[in-house]
């Protein structure tokens, strides 16, 4: 028999050099991957937290997830938690103030309307136009307060405590019929195109407000002599409602901003058309509360298209 070959010869003889290099590369690569993931984990945690905060979730906290990281990273995580907590407190204070002020304004407005009616009865006919103007303004203010209260309720996540099966098709048909009467007074019309049969589980009153705000907004801005078109389609468990006007449209950079409370693309034009600047904000929050989404885009041949997508009930 030949001489016994030592196992260590594998690491010495030149014939095994390629295998040795391959083993070194594989082991080094695995160690590098594991080390890189370990070192980058705090960054991934912080990045995920900032993305959630940017999307509106201020309940995110990262201190516990960063346990074991270096001191600077842990300190950064604590600072981020304090920042999120402070922003959440400020927003809650703002919402509470808005809600309380809106509630407090309701009573003085009611008393003002009663006093106005009493003074109207004792005044000469020539001041009637002034009283009409005061009445219109108080009604507008009362409507704005009502919308502020609705918006405040939606922003706190309330409104879905009690749900019901809503026939979306019947609701849209009724709202189109109501809007057609208002449109006729402004020299335009509202027509219902596609009307697929679909239903969903949700708050019927919130859905009514959400859709009505979009349709009435379209009626305000569509050109006289044109028609607002409403289409309802249902496919793949999603109901899509599209409302298209024939107005001036919205600048591309402002399409995402029109759902912000009190945002106005053109202040003079918006005030001339009426409205409070809160309607589309209520629409977006009501749709989000139902698990849906809202999108606005300019039509190729003019006008604005607002699409509401909501989860539909199978077989609805």
Active site residues: 103
Q: Determine phi and psi for 12, rounding to 5 degrees.
A: -115, -45
The encoded tokens of residue 75 equal: 């300190």
Give how far the C-alpha of residue 127 lies from the chain's centroid of Cα atoms, to the nearest Å.
45
Q: Which residues pair with 166 in a beta bridge?
A: 200
What is the chain's length? 316
- With beta carbons less than 8 A apart as the criterion, state whether 246 and 262 touch: no
Between CA 80 and CA 82 the distance in angstroms is 5
Helices (H), the chain: 17-54, 71-121, 128-155, 168-185, 204-221, 267-273, 279-289
Burial of 273 (0-12, 13-18, 19+ CB in 10 A): middle
DSSP state of 277: S
Please give the distance of CA 232 from its chain centroid, rounded to a whole number.
Answer: 20
Q: What is the DSSP letter of 11?
A: G
Pairing state between β 189-195 and 238-244: unpaired
Distance CA 243, CA 25 (A): 60
Pairing label, strands 238-244, 227-235: antiparallel
Alpha helices in 17-123 (DSSP H): 17-54, 71-121
Rg for the chain (alpha carbons), in Å?
A: 31
């Amino acid at each position: 028999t030949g001489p016994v070959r030592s196992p260590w010869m594998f690491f010495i003889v030149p014939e095994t050099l390629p295998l040795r290099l391959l083993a070194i590369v594989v082991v080094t690569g695995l160690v590098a991957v594991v080390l890189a993931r370990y070192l980058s984990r705090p960054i991934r945690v912080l990045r995920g937290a900032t993305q959630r905060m940017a999307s509106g979730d201020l309940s995110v906290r990262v201190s516990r997830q960063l346990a074991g990281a270096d001191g600077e990273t842990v300190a950064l995580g604590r600072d981020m938690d304090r920042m999120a907590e402070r922003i959440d407190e400020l927003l809650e204070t703002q919402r509470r103030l808005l809600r309380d002020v809106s509630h407090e304004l309701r009573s003085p407005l009611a008393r003002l309307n009663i006093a106005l009616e009493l003074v109207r009865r004792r005044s000469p006919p020539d001041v009637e136009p002034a009283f009409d103007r005061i009445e219109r303004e108080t009604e507008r203010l009362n409507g704005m307060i009502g919308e502020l209260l609705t918006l405040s309720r939606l922003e706190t996540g309330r409104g879905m405590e009690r749900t019901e099966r809503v026939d979306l098709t019947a609701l849209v048909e009724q709202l189109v019929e109501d809007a057609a009467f208002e449109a006729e007074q402004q020299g335009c019309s509202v027509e219902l195109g596609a009307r697929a049969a679909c239903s969903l589980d949700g708050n019927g009153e919130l859905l009514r407000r959400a859709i009505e705000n979009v349709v009435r907004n379209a009626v305000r801005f569509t050109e006289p002599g044109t028609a607002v078109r409403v289409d309802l389609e249902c496919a793949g468990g999603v109901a899509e409602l599209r409302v298209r006007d024939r107005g001036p449209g919205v600048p591309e950079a402002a399409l995402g901003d029109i759902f912000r409370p009190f945002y106005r693309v053109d202040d003079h034009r918006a005030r001339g058309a009426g409205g409070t600047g809160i309607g589309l904000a209520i629409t977006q929050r009501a749709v989000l509360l139902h698990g849906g989404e809202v999108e606005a885009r300019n039509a190729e041949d003019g006008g604005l298209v607002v699409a509401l997508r909501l989860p539909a009930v199978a077989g609805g």
